[in-house]
């Protein structure tokens, strides 16, 4: 709709992609999340694990209680907001490697505990 403010924000975002290594950052995030979430594939009730760019998803057959699951993530020191039957991660492109590991480790721990991993 050519809203001037939205256009200015879009242009500023494109400028960042020209000046900063955003695509390299996304590729590193994608590789780290792919490796970090791989263990989730072995959990019962996990339908799919997929990563595209800087978005990681663990799809479950169902989530019994979203609030309990959300609190379990908080107890691990991360904020992950599951919805429906999906646990998804959308970290900032500038996330540090150790922070991303903490995030994927928390997903593995919480889902392992809540889904009754063997």
2 lies in some domain: no
Number of domains forming the structure of the chain? 1
What whole-number distance in Å separates Cα of residue 82 and Cα of residue 79? 10
8 lies in some domain: no
Average pLDDT (63-76) is 95
pLDDT, the chain, mean: 93
pLDDT at 80 > cutoff 80: yes
72 lies in some domain: yes
103 lies in some domain: yes
Average pLDDT (49-64) is 96
83 lies in some domain: yes
For the whole model, what pTM was predicted?
0.85
78 lies in some domain: yes
30 lies in some domain: yes
Q: Output the pLDDT for position 30.
A: 98
pLDDT at 18 > cutoff 90: no
DSSP the chain: ---HHHHHHHHHHHHHHHHS-HHHHHHHHHHHHHHHTGGGGGSTTEEEEEEETTEEEEEES--S-HHHHHHHHHHTT-----BTTEEEE---TT--HHHHHHHHHHHHHHHHHHTT--
User: Domain range for residue 64?
Assistant: 21-114
Q: CATH no. for residue 107? A: 3.90.1150.10
Average pLDDT (33-38) is 98
């Amino acid at each position: 709709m050519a809203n001037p403010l939205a256009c200015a924000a879009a242009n500023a975002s494109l400028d960042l992609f020209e000046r900063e290594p955003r695509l390299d950052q996304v590729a590193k995030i994608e590789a780290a999340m792919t490796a970090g979430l791989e263990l989730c594939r072995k959990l019962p009730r996990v339908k799919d694990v997929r990563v595209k760019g800087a978005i990681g998803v663990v799809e479950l057959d169902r989530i019994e209680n979203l609030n309990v699951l959300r609190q379990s993530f908080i107890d691990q020191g991360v904020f992950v907001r599951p919805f429906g039957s999906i646990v998804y991660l959308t970290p900032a492109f500038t996330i540090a490697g150790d922070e991303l590991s903490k995030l994927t480790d928390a997903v593995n721990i919480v889902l392992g505990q809540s889904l009754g991993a063997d």
